[in-house]
A = this chain, B = another copy of it.
Amino acid sequence: MTDAYQRLRKSDLATLRAEIRAGRYRSHTAGLGAGYLQTNIAILPESHALDFMRFCQRNPKPCPLVGVSDTGNPMMTTLGAEIDIRTDVPAYNIYRDGKLAGSAADISDLWTEDMVAFALGCSFTFEDALMQAGVPLWHIENDTTVPMFRSSIDTVPAGPFSGKMVVSLRFVEPGMVETATAISRRFPLAHGAPVHAGDPAAIGIADVTKPDWGDPVPVPEGQVPVFWACGVTPQVAIEAARVPLCITHKPGHMLVTDIPEDAEVPICASANNNDIKNQQGEPA
């Protein structure tokens, strides 16, 4: 796995997805496809799709909507060339009636004509930018999963989707909090600016050493706990909604897209046979 990981780090996006699609790479995607947007995935029946999309629109920091498939069409055409959502994620979790019921490396046998796939931005994007700006991230340096907590911040409900916001925690030197805020704010498709910095109790977190998801990190003397909206939030909302069947990526095992991290809009040139590159940002 480490060898495969090192090799894939240097490969192009098409090779990377081909390896994943063939089932030869089933591990986490941190550090892969550097410079390109990675996304959380949620696949739901169309009966729940409009409410879920409203939930994402109303909660753009935990649920930054990056792509939505046509109903029954597994090709995520706006996110890249030939992305097939049934095979192109390294590992999936399967929820039935809101409860985790299993996992899989391929969901071709579960995909049905009424399904809609949603891609939501993830924190890998801004973490890269933070480290490049000299903000060290303990969980990355130590190859653990970022600590995540159920906060007391309510999401804005939509239909059956509701619940508290899940937040991820990174400790930052006091002098760097402003920089970390400014940098992450530049990435609205990757959770944007923090939702809180300082006293964890202010957002309902009693003990920062006991995360609800992910791994604990040491509490460094004098550093500020900084909390960002987290992509686990929609999973909690999906559990609350008791959706009959929902498929997500396995945490850390993201979809790697063809969208550059700094794209103005997350729409891939291949989404259209016309001059859609004009939608990407700068004047042609």
* Cα distance A271–B59 in the bound complex, in angstroms: 11
A156/B267 in contact, CB under 8 A: yes
* Cα distance A177–B284 in the bound complex, in angstroms: 12
* Cα distance A193–B239 in the bound complex, in angstroms: 38
Which of chain B's residues have a CB closer than 8 A to the CB of A65? 57
Identify which of B60, B159, B272 contacts A156 (C-beta below 8 A): B272
A57/B50 in contact, CB under 8 A: no
A68 within 8 A of B: yes
Chain A residues 252-284 with CB under 8 Å of chain B are 264-265, 267, 271-276, 278-279, 281-284
B192/A265 in contact, CB under 8 A: yes
Copies of this chain per assembly: 2
List chain A positions with a Cβ less than 8 A from chain B: 46, 49-50, 53-54, 57-61, 65, 67-68, 70-71, 78, 116, 152-156, 158-159, 165, 177, 181, 185, 188, 192-198, 202-203, 226-227, 229, 264-265, 267, 271-276, 278-279, 281-284
Which of chain B's residues have a CB closer than 8 A to the CB of A185? 264, 281
A60/B283 in contact, CB under 8 A: no
B153/A193 in contact, CB under 8 A: no
Identify which of B49, B78, B203, B278 contacts A278 (C-beta below 8 A): B203
16 contacts between A and B (CB under 8 A): A50-B50, A50-B53, A53-B57, A53-B68, A152-B274, A153-B279, A154-B273, A154-B275, A155-B272, A156-B267, A156-B272, A188-B264, A192-B265, A196-B284, A198-B284, A203-B284
B159/A70 in contact, CB under 8 A: yes
B181/A275 in contact, CB under 8 A: no
Which of chain B's residues have a CB closer than 8 A to the CB of A71? 50
Which of chain B's residues have a CB closer than 8 A to the CB of A61? 264-265, 279
B46/A50 in contact, CB under 8 A: yes
A156/B78 in contact, CB under 8 A: yes
**A157's closest neighbor in chain B, by CB?**
B272
Which of chain B's residues have a CB closer than 8 A to the CB of A154? 272-276
* Cα distance A283–B78 in the bound complex, in angstroms: 32
* Cα distance A271–B272 in the bound complex, in angstroms: 36
Identify which of B159, B181, B272, B281 contacts A283 (C-beta below 8 A): B181
- List the 9 closest pairs (A to B, CB-CB), nearest first: A197-B283, A154-B274, A50-B50, A195-B278, A194-B283, A60-B265, A156-B271, A54-B68, A154-B272
- In the complex, besides A53-B57, A54-B68, A153-B276, 6 extra interface pairs with C-beta distance below 8 angstroms are A60-B267, A152-B275, A155-B272, A188-B188, A195-B279, A203-B284
